[in-house]
Amino acid sequence: MSSASLWAAVPHYVAAVPNPKATLALLRRLEGLTGIAVDAGELEEETESYEEQIGRAVAANPEIAELVERIEAMQVEQFGEDEVDLPSADALAKEFQKFLRQKDN
C-alpha cells in the first residue's frame, strides 16, 4: 500500500495559532499528489488576512521584526530570492540562539 506524509513548516513565532497559509500549502501539495482539485477560495482569503495580521504583529514588536528580518536574510542567502522553503529547524534555532545572546549583551 502506498502512503505519503505531508507536513508544513511554520516559523516558531506563529506556531501556536491556526495557520491557514500552512493548511493551504498542504492542500495544494495534496492536490498535486492526487490530481484532485479542491476549491480553496475561502482558505486563500483566510491566508491573505492571516499574512496581514502576522505582518502587523511583527511590525509592532521591534525585537521580533529584527528576528524575522534575520531569518529572511538567511533564507535569501542560503536559497536565493525565488526559493520558498524555509531554513531547517536547526538553522533557525542557531539563529535564534545567536539573536538571544546578542540581546543579552
Q: pLDDT for 4-54, tens place per residue? A: 888 888 877 777 788 999 999 999 999 998 999 999 999 999 999 998 888
Domain boundaries, the chain: 16-60, 62-105
Identify the CA nearest to 74 among candidates 58, 92, 89. Answer: 92
Dist. CA 78–CA 74, nearest whole Å: 6
Give the DSSP letter string of the chain.
-----------GGGTTS--HHHHHHHHHHHHHHH------HHHHHHHHHHHHHHHHHHHH-HHHHHHHHHHHHHHHHHH-TT--PPPPHHHHHHHHHHHHHHHH-
Dist. CA 49–CA 34, nearest whole Å: 28
> Does pLDDT of 104 surpass 80?
no
Which of 83 and 14 is assigned the larger pLDDT?
14
- For position 37, what pLDDT does the model report? 93
Using CA atoms, how far residue 6 sits from 3, 9, 16, 71, in Å, is 10, 10, 19, 23
